Amino acid sequence: MVEELANWLTSAMSGLPGELIIFVISMIPILELRGGIVAASLLGVPITTAIPICIIGNIIPIPFILLFITKIFELMKKTKLFRPMVEKLESKAMGKSDKIKKYEFLGLLLFVGIPLPGTGAWTGSLIAALLRIKNKKAVPAIFCGLLMATAIMCIVSYFIPWVIRTI
């Protein structure tokens, strides 16, 4: 699914510089850094250029989520229009929070770092905010998780295709 979305966005933004495309993709929930790295590989952006752009793109929304999402959700829940959406987002995020509650730093790191559907820095930040995990514990865990996800996605998107081409 991430690869399909990355392909669609890449074609929708054709004509723009590849670096801008992967930066934008890395900021979008669901796609995040994983989609940015896949798109970078498909666009032929060198890995050394792609890694910092995708990490920065994925990091930018995180402080806003950690600092403001609970207040925003409280305001949104006061309206009939947004209450169901917010409650659905909260229950979906909290449904994935068992291991994070139990292990906090390590749980959050692995949740963000292992590229599975529904995981990543956005959801990890949302869960950290909803669980009221202190930022001095959440931020390093999310950042380390991003580094882990970067390594995994670079292997999948750059190294394995390179090995296959050279065989």
DSSP code string of 83-149: HHHHHHHHHHHHTT-HHHHHHTHHHHHHHHHS--TT-SHHHHHHHHHHTT--HHHHHHHHHHHHHHH
* pTM of the full structure: 0.86
> Per-residue pLDDT for the chain (167 aa), expressed as one digit of tens each?
666 776 787 778 878 999 999 999 999 988 999 999 999 999 999 999 999 999 999 999 999 999 999 999 999 999 999 999 999 988 888 887 887 888 889 999 999 999 888 889 998 999 999 999 999 999 999 999 999 999 999 999 999 999 999 98
